[in-house]
């Protein structure tokens, strides 16, 4: 057995057979395979957000920390090695009774020590054509490092890995599962307005606002990522499986949990920290006062991410959470896609010289076009104009380069 596998009770041949189908790099060596295997094992042992596990992995490395757990080492040995690694002061500050916390942690983790279960998880994920991403890999989303010891041990993924480098320009759109027509329209317009700037849309794959955000991005052939609260062998919610399977084909689905692990309330709440951490900004579109989306918003604030909220009718309980975020000045009011881009720092809105030359007709037509693609009839109805009035304004806006025509439909110019 290779020295790099000491204490893991698995042969080099068996480990490579399990891990190779899940590696991102074909030329990865045995040390990379061992690191990925141990990271996957840790994702099986601990619940999401386990800061104690994160401390051990950072201080001792995933392999050494796992070997100590397998050997049922005494907490004193862990503390000795943590001290030798220079982490004792920081660990003691985070965990007042470090020895006691370690004892409890070991009791929890050893209950899940099962090579058979880990082998099943790895083989199942390989059958799904999935991949594993460790923190040491260059494609690891950099925003997750802001979670510190509470960051995921590994990411289980299915779909287009080309999406991973795009997290540097990503937006989380979250909201109520019981979205209204107003919420659906807002999400569609926000997505269509920001993806022109190559922004990746992140959400949780749920019904309502999440699903609309994903569908809108895919309809525009933009990048979208769904972050799950359970294993990727059973995409949840089941009733949204058609959308989630399309994301696997066209985007990316991620979880920090291995196959076979069901979503729970705790895991949903912890999943929300990943949605906030992976994106530059989070925008809440329709959320009740006790919505899970408010939990995501709170994670965004803790991580010092930009936070926006869309206002709704003051009589709508579905927007009560958004109104509270705005009232408490926790979130910036978002009314259009340009507000989102400004929030992200992608684009700062300015009034152009062309816009200063617009008359009332041009302004009404431009507003009526919105962030989609509209026919003359739809523009007239929305702007309250006759076909002749709208046609004159469209001609003027096209000459100024502010709109573009595609057959019988009009849309805002991509440069705007």
Residue 350 confidence class, pLDDT cut points 50, 70, 90: very low
Residue 349 confidence class, pLDDT cut points 50, 70, 90: very low
What value does the mean pLDDT of the chain take? Answer: 90
Contact 162, 200 (CB under 8 A): no
pLDDT in tens, 388-397: 889 888 988 8
Averaged pLDDT, 218-234: 95
What's the pLDDT score for residue 88? 96
Instruction: Give the Cα separation of 318 and 269 in Å (integer).
Output: 20
**In the predicted structure, residue 351 carries a pLDDT above the cut 80:** no
pLDDT in tens, 120-179: 999 999 999 999 999 988 889 999 999 999 999 999 999 988 877 777 789 999 999 999
Contact 89, 55 (CB under 8 A): no
Q: Which long-range contacts (CB under 8 A, 24 or more apart) does 159-165 make?
A: 159/247, 159/248, 159/249, 159/250, 159/251, 159/252, 159/253, 160/223, 160/250, 160/251, 160/252, 161/24, 161/131, 161/252, 163/200, 163/223, 163/224, 163/225, 163/251, 163/252, 164/133, 164/139, 164/252, 165/139
pLDDT in tens, 28-81: 678 888 999 999 999 999 999 999 999 999 999 999 999 999 999 999 999 999
What's the pLDDT score for residue 392? 87
Domains of the chain: 3-128 (no CATH), 160-344 (3.40.50.450), 353-412 (1.10.10.10)
Contact 182, 351 (CB under 8 A): no
Least confident of 147-161, 285-299, 400-414: 400-414
What's the pTM?
Answer: 0.81
């Amino acid at each position: 057995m290779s020295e790099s596998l000491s204490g893991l009770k698995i042969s080099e041949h068996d480990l490579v057979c399990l891990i190779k189908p899940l590696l991102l790099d074909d030329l990865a060596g045995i040390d990379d395979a061992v690191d990925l295997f141990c990271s996957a094992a840790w994702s099986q042992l601990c619940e999401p957000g386990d800061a104690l596990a994160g401390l051990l992995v950072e201080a001792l490395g995933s392999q050494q920390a796992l070997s100590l757990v397998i050997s049922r080492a005494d907490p004193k040995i862990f503390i000795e090695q943590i001290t030798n690694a220079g982490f004792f002061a920081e660990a003691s500050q985070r965990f007042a009774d470090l020895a006691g916390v370690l004892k409890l942690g070991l009791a929890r983790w050893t209950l899940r020590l099962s090579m058979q279960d880990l082998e099943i998880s790895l083989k199942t994920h390989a059958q799904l054509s999935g991949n594993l991403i460790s923190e040491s890999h260059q494609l690891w989303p950099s925003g997750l490092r802001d979670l510190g010891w509470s960051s995921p041990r590994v990411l289980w993924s299915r779909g287009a890995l080309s999406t991973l480098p795009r997290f540097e320009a990503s937006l989380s759109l979250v909201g109520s599962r019981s979205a209204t027509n107003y919420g659906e329209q807002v999400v569609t317009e926000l997505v269509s307005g920001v993806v022109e700037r190559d922004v990746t849309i992140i959400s949780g794959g749920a019904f309502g606002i999440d699903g609309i955000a994903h569908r809108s991005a895919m309809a525009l052939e933009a990048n979208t990522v769904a972050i799950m609260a359970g294993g990727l062998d059973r995409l949840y919610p089941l009733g949204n499986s058609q959308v989630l399977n399309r994301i696997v084909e066209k985007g990316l689905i991620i979880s920090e949990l291995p196959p076979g692990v069901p979503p729970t309330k705790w895991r949903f709440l912890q999943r929300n920290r990943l949605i906030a951490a992976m994106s530059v900004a989070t925008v809440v579109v329709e959320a009740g006062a006790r919505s899970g989306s408010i939990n995501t918003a709170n994670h965004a604030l803790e991580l010092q991410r930009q936070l926006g909220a869309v206002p709704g009718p003051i009589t709508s309980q579905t927007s009560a959470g958004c109104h509270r975020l705005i009232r408490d000045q926790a979130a910036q009011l978002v009314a259009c896609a340009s507000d989102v881009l400004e929030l992200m720092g992608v684009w700062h809105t300015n009034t152009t010289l062309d816009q200063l030359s617009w008359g009332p007709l041009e302004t009404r037509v431009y507003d009526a076009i919105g962030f989609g693609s509209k026919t003359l009839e739809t523009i007239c109805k929305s702007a309250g104009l006759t076909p002749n009035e709208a046609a004159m304004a469209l001609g003027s806006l096209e000459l100024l380069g502010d709109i573009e025509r595609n057959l019988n439909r009009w849309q805002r110019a991509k440069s705007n």
